[in-house]
């Protein structure tokens, strides 16, 4: 997956859209939330005992007769935590959904690596502790089987993912499990520097059509029921999905997190170019 042409193309054309987002981490290429030692001027403040006198602005002192300290933005390298939903639902609708999920995870990991960060990739499935991949172990994604039956909410509730404080968290999931969006997003955003919420769906999940009588089989719970999938049913599904997506977007907005819904069948290249860029998750170099 590391050598996937689409991934390679993406990392060559885009970088993570973290500029306007205050983050924390090691010194690096990304600007931190606090003042630091970078050359990018941020603001003035009054001198306080203990401040580095090298940052005193003498010109300002001459103009205002006050000792002013010149503050510069801190440059950091972000800690990126990518959570990929590894449940069975992520492989529904053919190989598109699972492929794009892997591509996205790989892309974000590589982008974070390029920034000097140390990305951590969590495979959210039924295993405890949750499998944790580093940038060196990205090849493991090639063999990733989406076989989990637990949902992200349960995993978070179990505290199975060891999130670090002030990390940039990227969540890739379909979010089609029963949950409360506010609670879920708050938990994901807790003590994070930044949170990106990516909902990845296949085309049928995003835009289902009438199929007539079908036996619905829940791929994770194994539950079954007979249903006539007609226009009414489809309309009702769409309304419920829309409410879910609106709730997720609203909850994300509350924690300053971008939320985007991707349809896997459109391919990584198009998704990066349109949806992810529009959401500010990526920006062209």
Partner 1 sequence: MPFYFANPWGLLGLLSLPAIAAIHMYHHRYPPLLITGAHLWGAEMQVTTAGRKRERLPITASLLLELLAALIISLTLANPIYGNTGRVTHLIVVLDNSASMQAISPEGESFQQAALQKLEERVRSEERDTVLTLMTTGRRIQKLAGPVNWNEAREAIALWKPNETVHDVQPAWDRAVQLAAGQGQLLYLTDHMPEESLRPPDEMEIISVGQKLSNVGFTTARWIFDAETQQGLLFLRLANYGPQTTELTITGTVAKQELFSRKTKLSAKSTAPIEIPIPGGVGEVQIKLSAPGDALEIDNVVTLIEPKVRTVKVSLTLPEDHPAQDPVKRIIDSLADAEFTTDETSHLEIGSAGIKPGSSIREWWLGIGPMSQDESATDNAKDLLGPYLLEKQNPLLEGVVLGGVVWGGSQEWPYEVIPMVSAGATPLMGRLTGTLTTAFALNIDLARSNLTQSPDWPILLINLIEERRRSLPGLSRWNYRLNEDIQFRLYEGLADPAAEEKSSLSLVSESETKPVLRSEVVFISAQETPGVYTIKEGDQIFGKFAVNFFDPQESNLSDLTPGRRTASKKPVELFALDDPFSWLILLGSILILLFILADWFVLKPKVRSS
Q: Exposed, middle or buried, 54 (CB in 10 Å: 0-12/13-18/19+)?
A: exposed
Closest distance to partner 1 from the beta carbon of 4 (Å): 25
**Window of 39-47, 50-58, 240-248, 261-269 that interacts with partner 1 by CB under 8 A:** 240-248
- Who's near 202: CB < 8 A, 6+ residues apart? 92, 93, 94, 96, 97, 263, 264, 265
**Exactly one of 224, 253, 254, 284 binds partner 1 (CB under 8 A); which one?**
224
Q: What is the Cα–Cα distance from 78 to 112, expressed in whole angstroms?
A: 7
Considering the complex, state which of residue 9 and residue 247 has its C-beta at the smaller distance from partner 1. 247
Placement of tokens 């590589």 in the chain: 110
Considering the complex, state which of residue 160 and residue 219 has its C-beta at the smaller distance from partner 1. 219
Say if residues 284 and 11 touch (Cβ distance below 8 Å).
no
**Exactly one of 13, 233, 266, 283 binds partner 1 (CB under 8 A); which one?**
233
Is 213 an interacting residue with respect to partner 1 (CB under 8 A)?
yes
**Exactly one of 174, 195, 200, 271 binds partner 1 (CB under 8 A); which one?**
174
Say if residues 230 and 212 touch (Cβ distance below 8 Å).
yes
**Exactly one of 5, 49, 50, 178 binds partner 1 (CB under 8 A); which one?**
178
**Window of 15-23, 120-128, 218-226, 252-260 that interacts with partner 1 by CB under 8 A:** 218-226
Q: Label the pairing between strands 131-133 and 80-85.
A: unpaired
Buried b (16+ CB within 10 A) or exposed e, 257-272: bbbbbbbbbeebeebb
Q: What is the Cα–Cα distance from 235 to 248, expressed in whole angstroms?
A: 20
Residues 51-90 that bind partner 1 (CB under 8 A): 87-89
Is 50 an interacting residue with respect to partner 1 (CB under 8 A)?
no
Angle at 34 between CA 29 and CA 38, to 5 degrees: 45
**Exactly one of 157, 190, 216, 284 binds partner 1 (CB under 8 A); which one?**
216
For residue 174, how many other CB atoms are within 10 A of its CB? 25
Is 218 an interacting residue with respect to partner 1 (CB under 8 A)?
yes
**Exactly one of 19, 157, 190, 211 binds partner 1 (CB under 8 A); which one?**
211
**Window of 5-13, 125-133, 224-232, 264-272 that interacts with partner 1 by CB under 8 A:** 224-232
**Window of 25-33, 137-145, 237-245, 273-281 that interacts with partner 1 by CB under 8 A:** 237-245
Q: Exposed, middle or buried, 56 (CB in 10 Å: 0-12/13-18/19+)?
A: middle
Q: Which residues would be at the binding site for partner 1 (CB under 8 A)?
A: 87-89, 92, 174, 176-178, 205, 210-230, 233, 236-237, 240-241, 244
């Amino acid at each position: 997956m590391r050598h996937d042409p689409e991934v390679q193309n993406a990392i060559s054309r885009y970088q993570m859209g973290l500029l306007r987002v205050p983050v924390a981490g090691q010194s690096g290429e990304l600007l931190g939330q606090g003042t630091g030692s970078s050359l990018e001027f941020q603001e003035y403040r009054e001198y306080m005992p203990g401040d580095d006198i090298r940052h005193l602005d003498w010109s300002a002192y001459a103009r205002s007769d006050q000792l002013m300290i010149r503050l510069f933005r801190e440059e950091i390298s972000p800690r990126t935590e990518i959570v990929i939903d590894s449940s069975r639902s992520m492989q529904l609708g053919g190989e598109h959904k699972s492929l794009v999920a892997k591509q996205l995870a790989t892309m974000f990991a590589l982008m974070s690596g390029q920034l000097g960060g140390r990305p951590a990739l969590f495979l959210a499935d039924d295993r405890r502790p949750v499998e944790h991949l580093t940038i060196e172990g990205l090849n493991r994604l090639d063999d990733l089987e989406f076989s989990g039956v637990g949902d992200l909410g349960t995993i978070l509730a179990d505290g199975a993912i060891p999130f670090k404080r002030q990390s940039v968290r990227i969540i890739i999931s379909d979010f089609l499990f029963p949950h409360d969006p506010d609670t879920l997003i708050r938990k994901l955003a807790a003590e994070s520097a930044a949170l990106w919420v990516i909902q990845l769906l296949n085309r049928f999940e995003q835009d289902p059509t009438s199929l007539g009588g079908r036996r619905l089989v829940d791929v994770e719970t194994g539950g079954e029921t007979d249903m006539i999938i007609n226009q009414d049913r489809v309309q009702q599904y769409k309304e419920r999905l829309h409410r879910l997506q609106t709730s997720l977007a609203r909850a994300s907005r509350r924690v300053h997190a971008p939320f985007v819904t991707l349809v896997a069948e459109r391919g990584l290249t198009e998704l990066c170019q349109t949806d992810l860029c529009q959401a500010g998750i990526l920006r062209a170099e």
